[in-house]
């Protein structure tokens, strides 16, 4: 395997493929769909909380508040000079709630001096005040070094599939945009990559290429094109839809593994068709089972279908990516997802290697 | 003289079909060697085996000093090919096509510019290949085939489908390459082309070589030795040069000042091919 030849083929195809309208359409379709989902489904933040506070600006309690807000609370913190100013802002409804920290509050908590933190809220209360109250209590425990004498394990039980609530947990917008990311990976692998490969054979440029390269170098060059398009497209889609994975390593691992597995399938498909037009025509049939499972990964489905769908790489990829996006295990037993994807990688590239060996003989 | 191509008992079977049936020949360094035959005679399959794109069922081929199968990776940098059908990257400009292959072969990019100049496409360098005429595409393919300065150049029907002017330009290029010492392995349907360019030709029929020699020798061996005589009374007579009776007739006409013109009728390669293969190309 000669790296300069592989890279030359890769560079050629990255430029050439994008000039092919069929490849361009396969890239743009999911991108447009993602933007559409992004705009029609509302932002899933629970609420916006405008909070004023007086006292030490860099208290650990303030940091706790910011950390707990995460992606679900749009927290707008405003430091004021006095408790009077804080009360005025609450009264004028410029903020939803306010709190007043005594001087050296962090040290006082650590030394057990039991300082008083005043929470100021409107007469009828507010969700923001509840959030501040809960967060401050957690912050106080953390600063004082207290560990709870017991922990509460929260279990959510849903009718039907245990994962039926994933869409609700993740939010409709994020769920469907993520499914569209998987759709894009599918279209690149099962449409764009086979077109790039088949066109080379159809136009007989492969003959010229094989005078200097071997089949393995050509195939690897094409696979790298798929990987590059996948990486660039996912980054672009996340940027355009403002989707921010909380657990980036998990998200990247799921995306990369799924892309590599699907590209292997796409390269195998590329060898089955004689012309790029055939790929374009028939790949829609292949795309359906490739893309479909991603959209139902978090929805309740009959048990039999659930078992069948678990064999599909896109469903398992979607599960890993969902966990990565949420930053918590919305799907359990995620090792099964990794195992299924690795099995797809092994099968696809094993079959490809076998076919290449036959062709070279 | 060392052999640029040495083929021994080369055979390619597809199931029960013997596309190439145990052919043996050699091509000397600097020679222009023609492989002639009908469609399906095995010409392209032979080239595919010699260029490492198909594995022979039996036999051996040594190209540029290396075994075409076991030493394929050492053969590749030393050879190149012009294909029967235009196979360029249509969405790339002419210069981009050449630069891509320059990168693959690890040669300097400026070689692409030199070759475009050589084949007369410098002015069209930045035009996409799909806008080129058939002749221009063929010349670009020839330029591409020279990118690595090959020792052996395989040309599969290089003038097929070209108009007479473009075909003449391509033939001139081939002749120039031959003068510069490149070994050329040519397949063609056009007998005049083979006659003009090749130092030796082999006739391939149903996968077998049925004749192999210099065009002149083949014509002498298989062609008819006749002459056409136009007499003063405007009648045209054909005489056989190896027939003593015809020779006496010609002598008589000349003594009587009856001969207006006399043309020897040397056989053509096509005549030779018909004589050997039973039907014209």
Instruction: Compare all CA atoms of chain A with the CA of B153 and give the residue at the minimum distance.
Output: A211
Q: How confident is the model at residue A162 (pLDDT cuts 50, 70, 90)?
A: very low
Chain A residues near residue B82 by CB distance under 8 angstroms: none
Predicted confidence band of residue A160 (pLDDT cuts 50, 70, 90): very low
Closest CA to A27 of A174, A176, A195, A268: A195
Quote the DSSP letter at residue A191. Answer: I
**pLDDT score of A170 more than 70:** yes
**Averaged pLDDT, A95-113:** 86
Whether A144 contacts chain B with CB within 8 A = no
H runs (alpha helix) in chain A: 3-18, 21-40, 60-69, 83-91, 105-110, 127-144, 166-170, 172-187, 193-202, 205-209, 215-241, 248-270, 276-296, 303-309, 313-326, 334-360
Q: For the residues A4-29, what does the mean pLDDT come to?
A: 86
Give the number of other Cβ atoms within 10 Å of residue B278's Cβ: 9
**Residue B23, pLDDT above cutoff 80:** yes
Q: How far is CA A132 from the centre of its chain?
A: 29
Rounded Cα distance between B226 and B17, Å, is: 41
Work out the pLDDT band at A120, boundaries 50, 70, 90: confident
- Percent of the residues in chain B that have a pLDDT greater than 90, as a whole number: 44
Per-window interface: A 342-361 vs B, CB < 8 A? 360-361
pLDDT digits (tens, 9 = 90+) for B29-70: 989 999 998 888 888 899 999 998 888 999 999 999 999 888
Q: Is residue B270 scored above 60 in pLDDT?
A: yes
Over residues A147-155, the mean pLDDT reads 57
Q: Which of B255, B229, B254 shows the shortest CA–CA distance to B240?
A: B229
Handedness of CA A135, A140, A146, A149 (dihedral sign): negative
Nearest to B104 among A212, A360, A361 (CB): A212
- Are A35 and A77 a contacting pair, CB within 8 Å? no
> pLDDT tens for residues A187-230?
899 888 888 888 888 888 988 998 999 888 998 999 999 999 99
Contacts A209 to B, Cβ<8 Å: 104
| Mean pLDDT computed over B107-122 | 90
By C-alpha distance, the chain B residue nearest A12 is: B100
Angstrom distances, CA of residue A210 to CA of A123, A142, B81, B105, B224? 79, 65, 11, 12, 45
In chain B, the largest separation of any two C-alpha atoms, in whole Å, equals 73
Distance CA B173, CA B196 (A): 13
Q: Which helix H or strand E contains B125, and what residues bound it?
A: none
pLDDT of residue B128: 94
Q: Do A16 and B89 touch (CB under 8 A)?
A: yes
- Checking if the pLDDT of A148 tops 70, the result is no
Mean pLDDT to the nearest integer, A227-240:
90
Give which of B87, B79, B43, B72 is closest to B186, Cα–Cα: B43
Report, as an integer, the average pLDDT of A154-176. Answer: 63
Q: What is the mean pLDDT of residues A117-141?
A: 80
Alpha carbon of B152: minimum distance to chain A alpha carbons (Å): 12
Please check whether residue A26 is in contact with residue A192, taking contact to mean a CB–CB distance below 8 angstroms.
yes
Which residues in A lie closer than 8 A to residue B79 (C-beta atoms)?
211
Contacts of B52 in chain A (CB under 8 A): 210-211
A7-11, A357-361, B21-25, B192-196: least confidently modelled range:
A357-361
- Compute the distance between CA of residue B237 and CA of residue B239 in angstroms, rounded to an integer: 6
Query: Distance of alpha carbon B90 from its chain centroid, rounded?
Result: 26
Contacts of A16 in chain B (CB under 8 A): 89, 91-92
The rounded distance, in Å, linking the Cα atoms of B278 and A215 is 41
* Residue B144, pLDDT score: 94
> Which residues in chain A have their CB less than 8 angstroms from residue B83's CB?
204, 207-208
Tell me the average pLDDT across B126-153.
Answer: 92
Question: How confident is the model over B184-194, as pLDDT tens digits?
Answer: 999 988 888 88
Question: Who wins on pLDDT, A182 or A299?
Answer: A182
**Polymer length in residues for chain A:** 361
Determine the Cα–Cα distance for residues B94 and B73; give it in Å rounded to an integer.
27
Nearest to A203 by CA among B143, B145, B137, B86: B86
Q: Which residue has the higher pLDDT, A149 or A141?
A: A141
Residues 174-233 of A with CB under 8 A from B: 203-205, 207-214
Quick check: helix, strand or coil at residue B20? strand
Contact residues, chain A, for B87 at CB < 8 Å: 203-205, 207-208
Facing residue for A204 by CB, picked from B80, B83, B103: B83
Which helix (DSSP H) or strand (DSSP E) does residue B172 occupy?
helix B164-179
Among A65-74, A278-287, A294-303, B179-188, whose mean pLDDT is lowest?
A65-74
Other CB atoms within a 10 A radius of the CB of residue A335 amount to 9
CB contact under 8 A, B87 and A203: yes
Which of B87, B92, B101 lies at the smallest CB-CB distance from A16? B92
Q: What is the pLDDT of residue A147?
A: 67
pLDDT above 80 (res A88): yes
Task: Output the CA–CA distances (angstroms, integers) from residue B151 to A183, B80, B129, in the order listed.
Answer: 49, 8, 27
Opening angle at CA B207, ends B202 and B209, nearest 5:
30
What's the whole-number average pLDDT of chain A? 83
At A157 the pLDDT is 44
Low-confidence winner among A139-153, A206-220, A313-327, B142-156 (lowest mean pLDDT): A139-153
Residue of higher predicted confidence among A14 and B279: A14
Q: Any residues with CB less than 8 A from the CB of B180 and at least 6 apart, and which?
A: none
The CA-CA-CA angle for residues A131, A137, A141, to 5°, reads 145
Over pLDDT 90: what percentage of chain A? 20
Distance of alpha carbon A106 from its chain centroid, rounded? 37
Is residue A164 scored above 70 in pLDDT? no
Instruction: Check residue A156 and give its pLDDT.
Output: 44
pLDDT at B120: 86
User: Does pLDDT of A105 surpass 80?
Assistant: yes
Q: Which position has the higher pLDDT, A24 or B7?
A: B7
Q: Residue B76 and residue A211: Cβ atoms within 8 Å? A: yes
pLDDT at position B185 is 94
Which of B89, B146, B151 is the best substitution to test chain A (most A C-beta atoms within 10 A)? B89
Strand A73-80 to A47-54 pairing:
parallel
pLDDT at A308: 87
The pLDDT tens digits for B68-99 are: 888 988 999 999 999 888 899 999 999 999 99
Q: How far apart are CA A340 and CA A345, in angstroms?
A: 9
Q: Tally Cβ neighbours within 10 Å of residue B22.
A: 16
Q: Which residues of B touch A207 (CB under 8 A)?
A: 53, 81, 83, 87
């Amino acid at each position: 395997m000669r790296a300069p030849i592989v890279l030359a083929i890769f560079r050629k195809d990255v430029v050439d493929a994008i000039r092919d309208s069929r490849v361009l359409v396969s890239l743009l379709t999911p991108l447009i769909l993602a933007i559409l989902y992004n705009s029609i489904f509302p932002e899933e933040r629970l609420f916006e909380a405008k909070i004023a506070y007086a006292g030490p600006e860099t208290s650990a309690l303030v940091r706790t508040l910011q950390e707990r807000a995460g992606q679900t609370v749009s927290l707008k913190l405003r430091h004021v000079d006095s408790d009077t100013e804080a009360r005025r802002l609450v009264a004028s409804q410029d903020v939803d709630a306010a709190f007043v920290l005594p001087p050296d509050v962090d040290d006082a908590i650590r030394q057990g001096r039991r300082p008083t933190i005043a929470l100021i809220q409107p007469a009828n209360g507010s969700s923001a005040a509840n959030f501040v109250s809960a967060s401050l209590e957690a912050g106080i425990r953390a600063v004082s070094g207290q560990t709870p004498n017991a922990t509460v394990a929260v279990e959510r039980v849903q009718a039907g599939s245990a994962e039926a609530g994933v869409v609700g947990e993740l939010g409709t917008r994020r769920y469907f945009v993520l499914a569209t990311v998987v759709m894009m990976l599918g279209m690149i692998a099962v449409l764009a990559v086979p077109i790039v490969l088949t066109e080379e054979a159809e136009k007989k440029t492969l003959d010229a290429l094989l005078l200097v390269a071997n089949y393995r170098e050509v195939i690897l060059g094409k696979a790298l094109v798929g990987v590059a398009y996948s990486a660039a497209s996912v980054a672009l889609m996340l940027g355009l839809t403002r989707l921010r994975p909380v657990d980036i390593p998990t998200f990247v691992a799921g995306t990369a593994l799924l892309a590599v597995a699907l590209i292997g399938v796409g390269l195998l498909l590329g060898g089955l068709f004689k012309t790029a037009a055939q790929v374009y025509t028939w790949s829609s049939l292949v795309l359906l089972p490739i893309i479909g499972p991603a959209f139902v990964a978090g929805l309740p489905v009959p048990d039999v279908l659930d078992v069948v769908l678990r064999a599909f790489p896109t469903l398992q990829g979607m599960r890993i990516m969902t966990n990565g996006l949420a930053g918590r295990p919305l799907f359990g037993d995620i090792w099964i997802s990794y195992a299924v994807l690795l099995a797809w990688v092994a099968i696809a590239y094993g079959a490809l290697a076998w076919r290449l060996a036959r062709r070279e003989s | 003289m060392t052999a640029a191509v040495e083929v021994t008992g080369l055979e390619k079977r597809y199931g029960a079909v013997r596309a190439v049936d145990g052919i043996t020949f050699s091509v000397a360094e600097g020679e222009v060697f023609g492989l002639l035959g009908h469609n399906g005679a095995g010409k392209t399959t032979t080239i595919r085996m010699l260029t490492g794109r198909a594995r022979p069922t039996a036999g051996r081929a040594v190209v540029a000093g290396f075994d075409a199968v076991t030493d394929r990776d050492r053969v590749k940098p030393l050879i190149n090919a012009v294909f029967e059908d235009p196979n360029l990257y249509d969405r790339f400009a002419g210069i981009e096509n050449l630069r891509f292959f320059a990168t693959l072969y690890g040669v300097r990019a400026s070689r692409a510019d030199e070759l475009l100049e050589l084949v007369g496409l410098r002015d069209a360098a930045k035009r996409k290949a799909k806008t080129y005429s058939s002749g221009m595409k063929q010349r670009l393919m020839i330029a591409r085939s020279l990118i690595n300065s090959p020792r052996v150049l395989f040309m599969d029907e290089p003038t097929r489908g070209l108009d007479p002017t473009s075909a003449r330009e391509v033939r001139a290029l081939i002749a120039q390459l031959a003068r510069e010492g490149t070994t050329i392995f040519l397949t063609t349907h056009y007998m005049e082309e083979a006659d003009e360019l090749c130092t030796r030709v082999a006739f391939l029929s149903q996968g077998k070589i049925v004749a192999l020699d210099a065009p002149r020798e083949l014509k002498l061996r298989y062609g008819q030795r006749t002459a056409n005589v136009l007499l003063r009374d405007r009648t045209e007579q054909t005489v056989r040069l190896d027939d003593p009776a015809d020779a006496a007739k010609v002598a008589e006409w000349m003594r009587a000042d009856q001969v207006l013109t006399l043309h020897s009728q040397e056989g053509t390669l096509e005549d030779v091919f018909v004589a050997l293969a039973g039907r014209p190309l």
